[in-house]
Amino acid sequence: MANKFRDLRAKMSKESQLKAQKKANSMLAELPLAELRQAMCFSQEQLATELDVRQPAVAKIEKKTDMYISTLRRFIEAMGGQLEIRAHFPDGDVRINQFGELNK
């Protein structure tokens, strides 16, 4: 019989539990769109309804490596998120705000 993860985790040391949690948080911080959608518990069909498109259009967006910022923003907002664009420099990050007020 398979062990439940929570039972296995309970047997881990506190240090191991913390390390596993940090790794999980790190993995969730960087996801392709399809995995982000799944982590947010949306199906392609549900997201298509929110975006007022058909399911194949969602599948196509998820496979794209180059898209309009407005398309990405709509995708993220349909899942309840907010898109921010940042530039990373050795001295720190800068939030690019010229895309913040695009007409929807």
| pLDDT confidence bin for 1, thresholds 50/70/90 | low
Which tokens in the block code for residue 91? 């001295």
Q: Do β-strands 85-89 and 92-96 pair in parallel, antiparallel, or remain unpaired?
A: antiparallel
Tell me which DSSP letter residue 59 carries. H
Radius of gyration (Cα) for the chain, nearest Å? Answer: 18
Please state, as a whole number, how many other Cβ atoms lie within 10 Å of the Cβ of residue 84: 12
Give the 3-state secondary structure of residue 86: strand
pLDDT in tens, 36-95: 999 899 999 999 999 999 999 999 999 998 999 999 999 999 999 999 999 999 999 999
In 3D, which of 50, 66, 100, 81 has the Cα closest to residue 58? 50
